[in-house]
Amino acid sequence: MPDSSHLRTFATDTGVIAYEMIEASTGVSAPTLVLLHNFMSTGRAAWGALLDALTVHVRVLLPDLPGHGRSIGYPIGFDHRTMAHQIAGLLAHENALDAHLAGCSSGGMLAQLLTANKLMQPATLTLISTTYSVNPATTGHVASLDPAHFRAGRRWMEATALLHDPYHYDGYYEDVLLAGFRRLRPENSIDLPLTALERFAMPVCLIHGAEDEFFPVAIPQKMTSALPNAELHIIPRQTHSLIFRQPWRVAELMVQFLHRHIAIPQSRLASGAHLF
């Protein structure tokens, strides 16, 4: 975590969202990239290994999702639609409603809700280890692992608790976040029809593990077919939450994708500036 001068807060109707604004390492004006992390993680824990690569020429807006990490308060049941509205408020506050947007797992669900519900108009969209619906009746696919049956080893539990408990209370992670994750259902997370994705006009990059235990690979394949302007990268022998398992590979794919689609201000073109 950088020094406290980089940490900001944004008030919502259920608490505050803590977030960082990380300027591009070039020190010049740059487009903004919003990074939304997975459930039970934090902005830094999820995206930290990718930041050096991503901030070469983009400015990063990095929040802790409501109820996670340093963010205090969350909507009932961690309702993703309400969380999307809260994030949209933060983005409006930071003049980032047309920023580039990326999300992993639950963060990818929130990114899709932000887009589908027209809460923002992202310049590009990157979706990692995620789905358009957790409803098997919608996707036609049943995951091998359901949130209700999620279990983790003691060391993982202890490490994850350290991301949250110090800012709330001892036992907060297990009492609130883990319990909330196990109760996620289509009605409080995401259940979009594929036709909603057909209206996503921006370039979209999907990155997915071939052996994802939550969202079978057929799901991002269907998403890619529905999206008008999409590219799909399936990483062999990898399971869920790729930003933890192969952050270098995800960063490489994201940098290449942004390089192809990012807008370069005319003043920087005139000065001979290069991206990535």
Bridge partners (DSSP) of residue 35 are 102
Pick the CATH number of 4-270 from 3.30.70.360, 3.40.50.1820, 3.40.190.10, 3.90.470.20: 3.40.50.1820
pLDDT digits over 230-245, tens only?
999 999 999 998 999 9
Q: What value does the mean pLDDT of the chain take?
A: 91
Distance CA(115)–CA(113), nearest Å, equals 5
The SS3 of residue 196 is helix
Reading the block at residue 139, the tokens are 């996707």
pLDDT digits over 61-83, tens only?
999 999 999 999 999 999 999 99
pLDDT exceeds cutoff 70 at 267:
no
Q: Average pLDDT of 200-213?
A: 97
DSSP 8-state secondary structure symbol assigned to residue 191? B
**Cα 121–Cα 225–Cα 186 angle in degrees, nearest 5:** 70
Distance CA(118)–CA(88), nearest Å, equals 10
Closest CA to 11 of 73, 103, 61, 78: 73
The whole-model pTM stands at 0.93
Domain boundaries, given as residue ranges, for the chain: 4-270
Indicate the residue type of 86. Answer: Q
Reading the block at residue 132, the tokens are 């358009």
